[in-house]
């Protein structure tokens, strides 16, 4: 009876468009008030505080601030120019630039939503002017933005490493090869789609001189991922310190090297970064009592027993796991999924014989793919809004890419070296 009522409440709240944080907090309150009044209501804020009681999570605002300062300082524009010079005269080059910029931007921000909004605001209008359908421009931007949470640094990795007790450096190393694989796959698919639809070529004739000039213009910006990722994986600084350092680097670049920021624009960048961070922390804190509710209802044990029943067949286990992650990603926020289900799925995968680092990357990649899957993927909504395209048409344009991402996640599960090779040779495992 309790499960039916709570499921009904969940469906109603989702259909009403209630914020995910509000939904995750309300359901445990409903359960306590109507089904188990012996449980004190102060359990809810206690659980919320416990989730956030970690120094590691303070890296998230610094990642957000770095991305905002890059946009304010026009640093992303230089990455777009460099990407355009690299692509040269390739068919559908502006679409290819979209993917390549997301790969560069991934090494500086770590947020799928920030990648979607920043790269999308720059390139979606330009793509529309060049003849790309708005829905295709939105679909490509959203899908390529998933790289922003997979190539380190990654906010999702920081959250899951904190929740699952795994080294942040190990996850950063594990995400490099999958992130590059996703970028290359998207580029190959985009080339053939552009060829079929006769999309434009770049205005930039490839030349070593032009590439060198663009590289010099963007060279200071490229310091950011080197400093951030290198300091964490080299053991020089923790993820929080590295995030603070790169935010300072982004500010100094915009103020003194490129001279493209003003005091008022910096203030606005701080406001936007803290507002976005607050949204993330609300969702994370709400996941605490919701996770408690799932445990009380026995849903966690049922999930574990169900998935482990397929563990005797690695291929079947991988298929069921990917389908489950995709389904959950379609109906719940990625941050909530990572903190509520991430540790559970890591434990299940370890029992099935997977290393915890590989299991963690499966969760990170799968749940980030959920940010672009209909019906409630936040990156999917963001890209559609920027492109002024209907959600239904964006979903159709995204379908071939979602199928490719499905098989990529399947490969990550079945081929451990994809995620485990770099953490092993760099000494994290």
Q: Do 8 and 16 touch, CB atoms closer than 8 A?
A: no
DSSP annotation of 258: S
What is the per-residue pLDDT for 202? 62
Residue among 250, 242, 337, 245 nearest 74 (CA):
250
Distance CA 253, CA 308 (A): 50
Distance CA 49, CA 287 (A): 11
Q: For every one of its 429 residues, what pLDDT tens digit does the chain have, with 9 covering 90 and above?
A: 677 777 777 777 767 777 778 888 888 998 898 888 888 989 999 999 988 888 888 888 988 888 888 777 677 778 888 888 887 667 778 888 889 888 887 766 667 877 788 788 888 998 888 889 999 999 999 999 888 889 888 888 998 988 888 888 899 999 999 999 999 999 999 989 988 888 766 655 667 787 888 888 888 888 888 888 788 877 788 888 988 988 898 888 888 888 888 888 889 989 988 888 888 888 889 888 988 888 888 888 899 999 999 999 988 999 999 889 888 887 777 878 888 899 999 999 999 999 999 999 999 999 988 888 877 777 888 888 889 898 889 999 999 999 999 899 989 998 999 999 999 998 887
91: which strand partners?
201
Please list, in sequence order, all residues whose beta carbon lies within 8 angstroms of the beta carbon of residue 176, skipping any fewer than 6 positions away.
151, 152, 422
Q: Do 292 and 55 touch, CB atoms closer than 8 A?
A: no
Residue among 227, 180, 288, 258 nearest 62 (CA):
227
Tokens of 365: 């990649």
Kindly compute the dihedral angle of the four CA atoms of residues 294, 374, 138, 251, in this order, to the nearest 10 degrees.
Answer: -10
Q: What's the alpha-carbon Rg for the chain, to the nearest Å?
A: 21
Q: Phi then psi for 201, rounded to 5 degrees?
A: -105, 165
């Amino acid at each position: 009876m309790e499960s039916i009522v709570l499921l009904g409440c969940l469906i109603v709240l989702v259909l009403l468009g209630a914020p995910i944080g509000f939904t995750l907090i309300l359901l445990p309150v409903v359960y306590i008030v109507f089904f188990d009044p012996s449980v004190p209501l102060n359990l809810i804020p206690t659980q919320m505080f416990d989730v956030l009681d970690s120094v590691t999570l303070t890296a998230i605002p610094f990642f957000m601030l770095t991305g905002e300062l890059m946009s304010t300082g026009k640093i992303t524009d230089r990455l777009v120019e460099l990407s355009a010079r690299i692509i040269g005269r390739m068919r559908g080059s502006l679409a290819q630039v979209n993917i390549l910029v997301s790969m560069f931007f991934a090494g500086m921000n770590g947020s799928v939503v920030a990648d979607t909004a920043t790269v999308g605001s720059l390139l979606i209008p330009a793509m529309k002017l060049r003849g790309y359908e708005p829905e295709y421009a939105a679909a490509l931007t959203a899908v390529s933005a998933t790289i922003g949470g997979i190539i380190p640094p990654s906010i999702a990795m920081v959250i899951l490493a904190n929740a699952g007790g795994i080294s942040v450096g190990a996850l950063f190393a594990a995400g490099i090869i999958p992130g590059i694989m996703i970028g290359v796959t998207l580029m190959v698919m985009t080339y053939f789609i552009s060829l079929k639809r006769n999309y434009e070529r770049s205005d930039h004739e490839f030349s070593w001189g032009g590439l060198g000039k663009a590289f010099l213009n963007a060279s200071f910006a490229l310091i950011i991922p080197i400093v951030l990722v290198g300091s964490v994986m080299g053991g020089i600084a923790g993820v929080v310190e590295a995030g603070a350092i790169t935010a300072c680097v982004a500010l100094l670049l915009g103020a003194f090297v490129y001279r493209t920021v003003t005091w008022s624009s910096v203030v606005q960048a701080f406001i936007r970064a803290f507002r976005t961070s607050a949204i993330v922390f609300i969702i994370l804190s709400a996941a605490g009592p919701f996770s408690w509710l799932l445990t009380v209802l026995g849903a966690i044990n049922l999930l574990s027993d169900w998935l482990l029943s397929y563990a005797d067949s690695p291929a079947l286990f991988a298929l069921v796991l990917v389908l489950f992650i995709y389904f959950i990603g379609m109906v719940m926020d990625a941050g909530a999924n990572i903190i509520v289900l991430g540790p559970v799925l890591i434990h299940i995968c370890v029992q099935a014989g997977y290393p915890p680092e590989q299991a963690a990357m499966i969760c990170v990649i799968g749940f980030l793919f959920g940010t672009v899957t209909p019906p409630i993927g936040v990156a999917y909504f963001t890209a559609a809004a920027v492109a002024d395209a209907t959600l239904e048409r964006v979903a159709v344009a995204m379908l071939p890419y979602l199928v490719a991402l499905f098989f990529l996640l399947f490969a990550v599960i079945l081929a451990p070296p994809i995620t485990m090779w770099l953490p092993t040779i760099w000494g994290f495992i």
